[in-house]
Amino acid sequence: AQSVTQLGSHVSVSEGALVLLRCNYSSSVPPYLFWYVQYPNQGLQLLLKYTSAATLVKGINGFEAEFKKSETSFHLTKPSAHMSDAAEYFCAVSVIGTSYGKLTFGQGTILTVHP
């Protein structure tokens, strides 16, 4: 079975500062990894995904994440935070072949951006 751990339920940064949201996964087979974002009163939106191609994945809104197999990590970064990035972010893992695309989510990280 797979699992996901997001380190830090709340992260606060200043506008213009680096955003780093941490995600570690556990999977017995090569995983597919995702970051989703939920803005207030909206649904989950896919930010980016790793599906066994390039290990550095670029997503929407300037976010990117790097798959590091040796560290079982998939941390999300953005060089310069914007006020509009304030939201809750979810890391998720999926394993194809046994779970038909079922996602296992981390606990979520609320990102606050200060002016």
Partner 1 sequence: EAGVTQFPSHSVIEKGQTVTLRCDPISGHDNLYWYRRVMGKEIKFLLHFVKESKQDESGMPNNRFLAERTGGTYSTLKVQPAELEDSGVYFCASSPWVTGYGYTFGSGTRLTVV
Using CB under 8 A, list all residues that contact partner 1.
32, 34, 36, 41-46, 49, 51, 90, 92, 94-96, 99-108
Give least dist CB 85 to partner 1, A: 19
C-alpha 105/C-alpha 18 separation (Å) is 24
In whole angstroms, how large is the CA radius of gyration of the chain?
A: 14
Do β-strands 10-14 and 3-7 pair in parallel, antiparallel, or remain unpaired? unpaired
What residue has token string 């995702």? 34
Contact indicator for 16, 113 with CB cutoff of 8 Å: no
Closest CB to partner 1 among residues 19, 95: 95
Closest CB to partner 1 among residues 82, 102: 102
Closest CB to partner 1 among residues 57, 81: 57
Give least dist CB 45 to partner 1, A: 7
